[in-house]
Amino acid sequence: MSEARINELDAAIAAFDNSYKYVVFEIESLLKEKVARLIQSNDEQLRGEIKAYQSLLSLPEQLKQERQSLTALPDPGAESGALIEY
Whether residue 6 is contained in a domain is answered as yes
Whether residue 85 is contained in a domain is answered as no
pLDDT mean by block of 10 residues, the chain; 86 residues: 89 90 92 95 94 94 93 65 50
* pLDDT at 82 (0 to 100): 54
For the chain, the domain total comes to: 1
Cβ atoms within 10 Å, residue 35: 14
pTM of the model: 0.69
Range of the domain at 27: 2-71
Whether residue 21 is contained in a domain is answered as yes
* pLDDT at 76 (0 to 100): 59
Whether residue 24 is contained in a domain is answered as yes
Whether residue 38 is contained in a domain is answered as yes
> What is the distance between the alpha carbons of residues 17 and 9, in angstroms, rounded to a whole number?
12
Kindly tell me the sign of the dihedral angle through the C-alpha atoms of 12, 17, 14, 72.
negative
Can you spell out the DSSP letters for 20-71? HHHHHHHHHHHHHHHHHHHHHS--HHHHHHHHHHHHHHHHHHHHHHHHHHHH
Whether residue 81 is contained in a domain is answered as no
